[in-house]
Structure 1
Amino acid sequence: MKKYKLKLDYTEEELKELRILGRAYDGPIAAVYRLGELGSSDDPFRNLQRKYRMLDIYKEFDFMADINNVVMGTAIFPEELYIVHDTNTDSVIYPGYVSGRLMWGELAYHCPVKRTKDQWLAINPAYEPMLERVEN
């Protein structure tokens, strides 16, 4: 089965709602119809509904394609990225400027390396309690 990247950019809250939407509906038409309804402030899809209402007319097809792919299980969600952050010392892992090796340094002075959780744990499982999720 071919997989497709999401065509539009989504916030973290919208991505959470997309994942719920994918589990809640068996067909994409019903899901798109649901997002077209006016929801209340406690609606589980309120952020996606807001996005849909504010979309540029030329992006509506991309939005519907994304909903189709999510519901049909063919969507590729952006990977969640993490940094290793020791909050006790406020240190992070950053790339060495000369060697390119991973090094520890203060967060205030260095740009941390971003990787997926699995990539960090493959390097060292002891990093798990220090993993901090960051925006892509």
Structure 2
Amino acid sequence: MKKLTTWIALAATAALLAGLGVWLVEWRAGQPAGAPAGAEPDTGQGVIEQALRQIPGEVDSTELKSRWTDDARGVDLSVLTPAKREIFLRFANAERCTCGCGYTLAACRAYDLTCPVSLPRVESLLDSVRSGRISSARGLRERPARPD
């Protein structure tokens, strides 16, 4: 009887070790290639640091945010005459978006199509210029001269 119990215990131990072996193989197969077990997850800090090093030393964010834009993405300016389009663009390049980004309305539309503030304001401006409620851009920012 004792011999039978010993064989059963050995068979159970072998089955347990085989099960652990299968589990270990399956577990390692789920690990990303090249990632050692228990390795720290990549936070992307290296990529961020590399991107920050690529920024030129003298970036004038005010100039960038005030850059003249000849379009307002998300609205169709082809419905305007050239004169009304110029009035629209002067307003869109002079007025600041109120979402907090610091861009002009036209620049905000160029850099952030998902802005929930600039699109309704640009659409309202387009309607006002199209209907004639806004007929002059006197006193507003002029289109910058194009370098030759």
Establish whether TM, by shorter chain, passes 0.5. no
Query: Comparing both structures, which one devotes a greater share of its residues to strand?
Result: 1
Highest RCO, 1 vs 2 (Cα 8 Å, sep ≥ 6): 1
TM-score using structure 1 length: 0.24
TM-score using structure 2 length: 0.23
Query: Comparing both structures, which one devotes a greater share of its residues to helix?
Result: 2
